[in-house]
Every structure is written in structure tokens, then in C-alpha cells.
Amino acid sequence: MKKLIATFMLLGVISISSHVQAQQSSTKATWLWNTATITDEQTLQFLLEKEVTTVYLQIDPSLPSEQYVEFISKMQAAHIEVQALDGMPEWDTTYFDAFWEWLSQYQQAYPESAFTAVHLDVEPYLSAFWQENEPMAIYQYQELLHYAKEQANSMGLRLEADIPFWYDEVFYKNTFGQGNLAEWVIKHIDGVSIMAYRNTAYALKRVTANEMAYAEKYETPVVMGVETMPFPEEPAISFSAKGEKRMNRLLQQMADHYAHNHYFDGVAVHHVQSWMTLKR
């Protein structure tokens, strides 16, 4: 009987330990757009205080490489990974060439302080071309991600990207096949951050349900992103007025809701500068 009780106790400890490890391994990411702040002690302390695990860092080629080396080294010491972030609505492979050249040179020159992934925030729906010719704009976006994945993977890096929650309502039919854009992106790249950008549990669950199903189907890690920038005319988008406590509570609800989904990889907060001003 004592052996049986001891066995159950051991199993309980293992179960609790596994749960804690799962929580500890969950992503808590953020976008750092103002690259110049990587030398600010305030920024570094904020990332540590908020227990960030992943930084999507905007690449500014005009900054000395030594600043990236110093920042990434500090992040590594805190077990925080840094992904190379870039993108704009008008991106094409020509613009990409300068980005890939800079990243390749940096990775080769500083292998001990290297980026862990490429993170794209290309939003083609904001471009004039999307309005003029949506099917072709979608096709060029797919070509762009296909090309980007080849480039990133050739450097030994993952390719991750941000997508809006409504890409599952955008359909394509071209040489890539046919279907909805959310499923295509999740199927073909290494990781996705959903710009869920809603501030209630009901809305967050509703707008991410399809994407999380695709994540399981294609075994692609997916992170749920929320907004902290103020949107006075669209209060349902951001946590700016609700505050950080409400945001954290809802993010924990999402983690609990998707606990059964092995490819729910955590949460992301947009972005460092607005998060720093968010009321507690």
C-alpha cells in the first residue's frame, strides 16, 4: 500500500513538474520597432521585468553591428531569443535583397550573437496594389513568403510572420493552389503570430479558432498577439484603456483555453513602446 501511495505521489510530482515546464517554455513575445532603444537600460530592464522570452527586433542597417551584438548577448544571458524583424506593405524581393545581404553578413560575422529567426511583418492589404488587384497582390505575397523561407532556411534560420486574424476570409486561386490565405501561410512557414487584436475572451477565441485548428493540422507553432496602442475610435481592438492586469488575465485565459493544442506557442504583446506606457 505504501508503495502504491508513493507511486501516485511520484506521478503527481511529475505531472506538476511537466505542467510548470510547459508554462515556462511558453512564448511571451513582443515587437521592438524603435531599434535605437536597444542601448537603453530602461528597455532592457522592461523586457526582463515582463519576463519576455522572444523579441521581434526591427532591423535598422544604419546602426553599428556592435550594438546588435551587445543587445543580443544581453538577451542571451537572460535566455531571451531575438528574431530579425522587418517588413512593409510594399515589400518585394528587390527590397528583400538588401535585408538578406545585411542579415547574412551579420550572421557570419557574429555567430555567437546571432539572430534565431526571421520575423516578417509584411501587410500587403495596406498597399495600393491590394486595392487595385487583390488576386495578384495575394499571389505576390505568397511568392514573397516562399522566397523568404528559402533564404531564411538557407541560413539555418526559421521564418516566422505576422498575419491578421481575418486571413481565413481571404481566398486565393492561382499556381499555389486554392484555399484561404491563413491556412496557406500556416502550412508553409515555420511559425506565425496572429494579430488577434481584440480585448475580450469571447472575441479572442472566436477570431483565432480557425488559425489554431490549422496550427494543429500542419504542426506549426502559433502565437496570439494583442494590441496595447490606443485606438479611441475602435476600443475593442486594444488593451490601452483596460490596462495590463486585464490584459494578463485574458492572455492567461487564452493559454488555458488552448492548453490542449500542442501548437499554441504562447502570446505576443504589440509593442514595447506602447506596452511601457500601459496602465497597470
pLDDT at 260 over 80: yes
Q: Is 81 helix (H, G, I), strand (E, B) or coil?
A: strand
Looking at residue 93, its pLDDT comes to 67
Percent above pLDDT 70 for the chain: 90
Kindly report, residue by residue over 111-168, the tens digit of the pLDDT: 999 999 999 999 999 999 999 999 999 999 999 999 999 999 999 999 999 999 999 9
Q: Pairing state of beta strands 171-174 and 177-180?
A: antiparallel
pTM of the model: 0.91
List Cβ<8 Å contacts ≥24 apart for 131-137.
135/172, 135/173, 135/174
Kindly report, residue by residue over 161-194, the tens digit of the pLDDT: 999 999 999 999 999 999 999 999 999 999 999 9
Encode 211-234: b = buried (16+ Cβ within 10 Å), e = exposed.
bbebbbebebbbbbbbbbbbeeee
Looking at residue 16, its pLDDT comes to 37
Residue 193 near residue 159 (C-beta atoms within 8 A): no
Q: How far apart are CA 153 and CA 133, in angstroms?
A: 30
Looking at residue 237, its pLDDT comes to 97
Looking at residue 91, its pLDDT comes to 80
| CATH code, residues 34-276 | 3.20.20.80
Kindly report, residue by residue over 66-123, the tens digit of the pLDDT: 999 999 999 999 999 999 999 988 887 677 888 999 999 999 999 999 999 999 999 9
Kindly list the distances between the CA atom of residue 249 and the CA atoms of 75, 113, 174, 234, 273, in Å, as whole numbers in the listed order. Answer: 26, 34, 42, 21, 21
Q: How far apart are CA 157 and CA 83, in angstroms?
A: 9
Kindly report, residue by residue over 33-58, the tens digit of the pLDDT: 999 999 999 999 999 999 999 999 99
Confidence band of 10 (pLDDT split at 50, 70, 90): very low
Looking at residue 224, its pLDDT comes to 97
Percentage helix, strand, coil for the chain under 3-state DSSP, each rounded to 5: 55, 20, 25
Q: At what angle do helices 201-218 and 244-257 cross, to 10 degrees?
A: 40
Looking at residue 96, its pLDDT comes to 82
- Who wins on pLDDT, 145 or 16? 145
Q: How far apart are CA 148 and CA 151, in angstroms?
A: 5
Residue 36 near residue 58 (C-beta atoms within 8 A): no
- Which cell goes with 245? 492586469
